[in-house]
Amino acid sequence: MSGAINYISCGLLWVALLFRLPDIRRHWSEPSLRAIIAVLGFASMCFLLGAPPTVALINSVSGIPNLAAPLTYAAITAYSAASLVLIACWRGGASVRRTARNWIYSYAGVLTGIAVLFAVGNPAEERRTDFDTFYATTPWVAEMVVLYLLAHLTAATVSAVWSLRWARETEVRRRPWLRASLLTIGTGTALSTGYSISKLAAIAARWSGRDWVTVGTSVSSLCAGLGALVTVTGFLLPMAGHHLSAWADFVRLAPLDALLDPVLEDRALRVERPRSPLLWGTWRRSTILNGLHEIEVFFDKALYEQVHDAELKRLREAAGAHGPEDGAQGRAVASAWAVTISAAARRSAQRSAGAFGESAPLPLPRDPKALVQIADAVRRTERRARCVAAGPARAGSL
């Protein structure tokens, strides 16, 4: 792999790492967050230290021939350990701490072995791209190379098996972003096994007197680059999914926000929108909850129940002999809330006396998914009203 590709890959990983820095300050106590930071950091170091220009610089500045080799191997080993720890943290369970601790101790032993074997072997001739195969028959250095390759192969294999097996579980299938993440990680780590397998194959060929340098350099570098990028993408998918979901909620909550806008403006409850787009979804939910809290005393329970029963009956009749459609109950609840909130907002704006909530209180909807469903119901209600104004035939098609 050329130095340019290494540096581009390293830069992309640093950008991803920068996106997680704000979370570090707020949630440093979370083991999974520390693990993902370690994965991104060590993955970027693998690309940085493995670039031929960096190899030449380290060897030249340190004055130690091939010092870049054990440093790169150490970064690969640490990345392997961090990946295993992160998957263990995501998996959870009573033994997660013990499992993570065992992986850390095991790979710390590998790191120690790499340092000791390199010092004892003392490879004197600098090799920037084919260190593994060139020193495959050198005592102690060969053992160092095989040690880190076996450690990498173990981590990649275990990560692939864990991820792909976990992705098939029923609970995970209900969480699409987590499942996509696990499938991507499984694919990436499976590709990563090609790195250590090709290196070991080239070393074995050297032991038998054959020269497979291309397999140990070009093929292994390709597998390492693709595998690492795909794997890290998988680790970042839950974060991307969270932000995309927040953006989708921001857009879908707009009708409910607009419905409550008169109340929010009149009571000076609308705060300034944050600069970061990543916070807009949370900002809109908080604003809506402020408005709902202000008008909850005007919620009419009788109206809510009337609309709920009518909507549920309509959905059941529309489903016919096949029974009510999936989610009919949830849709009826959302429609009832949409009408109830609309009526409460009008009553609040008119300063009407005699709040409904004093005699028949309704629990304030707070669940983010429920708010999105209510906003969708508001949109449907407004669309139906526009269609009724346009003509009964068009309204009946909704």
Look at residue 357 in the predicted model and tell me its pLDDT.
46
- In the block, tokens 């499938």 appear at 183
Of residues 236 and 206, more confidently modeled: 206
User: Is the predicted pLDDT of residue 232 greater than 90, yes or no?
Assistant: no
DSSP states of 146-192 as a string?
Answer: HHHHHHHHHHHHHHHHHHHHHHTSHHHHT-HHHHHHHHHHHHHHHHH
Confidence check: pLDDT of 352 > 80: no
Q: Give the predicted TM-score (pTM) of the model.
A: 0.74
Output the pLDDT for position 362.
Answer: 77
The whole-angstrom separation of Cα 249 and Cα 69 is 48
Q: Which position has the token pair 């409460």? A: 344
Distance between CA atoms of residues 246 and 280, nearest Å: 8
Helix (H, G, I), strand (E, B) or coil at 94: coil
- What is the band of 243 on the pLDDT scale with cuts at 50, 70, 90? confident
Residue 229, C-beta contacts closer than 8 angstroms, at least 6 positions apart:
9, 12, 188
